[in-house]
A and B are shown apart, each in its own frame.
Chain A
Amino acid sequence: MSQGVAITGIGIISAIGNNVAENFASLISEKIGISKISQIDTIHKNDIMVGEIAMQNKELEALLNLNSDAYSRTPMIGIIAAQEAITNAGISDINDCATGLISGTTVGGMDKTEQYFYDYFEGNSHWNHITGLSAGDSSKKIADYLGLKESFVTTISTACSSAANAIMQGAKMIKSGELDRVIVGGTDAMSKFTINGFKTLMIQSDTFNAPFDNNRKGLNLGEAAGYLVLESDKIIARDNKKVLAYIKGYGNANDAYHQTASSEQGDGAVLAMEKALKVAELSPESIDYVNAHGTATPNNDLSEGRALLRIFGDKVPEFSSTKAFTGHTLAAAGGIEAVFSVLALQNNIIYPNLNFKTPMIEFNLQPEIKLKQKELKTVLSNSFGFGGNCSTLIFSKEA
């Protein structure tokens, strides 16, 4: 009954590249995507650094053959990453088995809503974006573009753990036999809404974010989309598919501590990691690398660090946060970091935790700061979000 969950395709667009190859090249050459903001006009432009996708909306529209101003940026980057994952998985007919899409997003079409909020009442030229505010609309557009018919399509929004949760639910639906194939991940474009929202929380850094550093000043917002194609054993056998990696474990728990902050001792994170290890039937010692949530906010890194110590004791495996490269891409974070985890397994490498200089005074934890070669069998990836949401995924080479 219980089946393996194979990953057969990956796709990504982020501040460090428009596809998998570009992202990987950036990761191994320490090319970061953090800069001053250029595509959104905001009064905070001198106070923040962000991870923007290089392509402007008109370039995305041209690439996708869309009319000008047809779609919000969130579905456009989502389509690019999801399409790459489908192509990577060698799928020619997406409806040749029970295929679903589970996508995570927090902002959805917020970029257009904030732009045309009052304009809607002046004339009808932007009314196409009115229904685009609904988070589910971005997934609908991705599903339509991919040609999904009479399919299971849904959207998860659990703040910064959205894509991780989409991957978790997709894996469960493959395991239970509800679906044969599912495209899972998340997408979030930059918006004034999130820039100002995080501004009110005073957790945005005015310089390059430095995860797990004692002098970290906060996060850099990023935008990205990252998707995986998951397929059942049945489809792998039917199509004689090459498997990139497997989803071995997953766990979701709630911190139930504070509306936005993580608990002092990382209770929710500990529960999520414990559950994921249990589902994977793995002991903590068998985790070879942790791709941490590591947002570089004072609160997250302290809480997550303590949680890592509670799970792994004095044998914390090599860990790093890739957010110094991409910024914190909110709902997409769990999706792009899943892609990074698969690439880590395939290439047996651990990514550097850039900008780290000084260990935190609260504990003796040192992330990997240089690219490192290591034979990897398993990678654990954390994603935490507002509302106490904590999620852990475990990826493995073997089923």
Chain B
Amino acid sequence: MSALKIELKEKIIEQLNLEDLSVAEISDSEPLFGEGLGLDSIDALELIVMLDKDYGIKLADPKEGRKIFESIDTMAAYIEANRS
């Protein structure tokens, strides 16, 4: 599980061009959107592509992403449960 979380943080930094951030600076539980990391709706779409490409999980409705991408914890749990 924690390996997956580190992997997710690395991917988020790379995919979303957050080059000034390090893996250590992203906490597992803090919100990724709004207050926390400050991601926005375009980032959510980027993350949906990442789920599809890297974990074989397809989301049809972008609204589904809101709950899944709440934090690294929720993302990792969702991927563990649904990856193909």
Contact = CB atoms under 8 A, between A and B. Distances in A.
Interface of A: 200-202, 258-261
Closest 10 CB pairs of A and B: A202-B62, A200-B45, A202-B45, A261-B41, A201-B45, A259-B42, A260-B42, A200-B49, A258-B41, A202-B48
Give the secondary structure class of B's interface: helix
A30 B56 CA distance: 42
Secondary structure class of chain A's binding surface, majority of residues: loop
Interface in B38-65: 40-42, 45, 48-49, 61-62
Contacts of A259: 42
B42 to A, nearest CB: 7
12 contacts: A200-B45, A200-B49, A201-B45, A202-B45, A202-B48, A202-B61, A202-B62, A258-B40, A258-B41, A259-B42, A260-B42, A261-B41
A259 B62 CA distance: 17
Contacts of B41: 258, 261
Given A201-B45, A202-B45, 10 more contacts: A200-B45, A200-B49, A202-B48, A202-B61, A202-B62, A258-B40, A258-B41, A259-B42, A260-B42, A261-B41
B52 to A, nearest CB: 11
Nearest to A202: B62
Contacts of A258: 40-41
A260 B42 CA distance: 9
Nearest to A260: B42
Contacts of B42: 259-260
A266 to B, nearest CB: 17
Nearest to B61: A202
A202 B40 CA distance: 15
B19 to A, nearest CB: 20
Contacts of A202: 45, 48, 61-62
A202 B61 CA distance: 8
A80 to B, nearest CB: 36
A260 B41 CA distance: 10
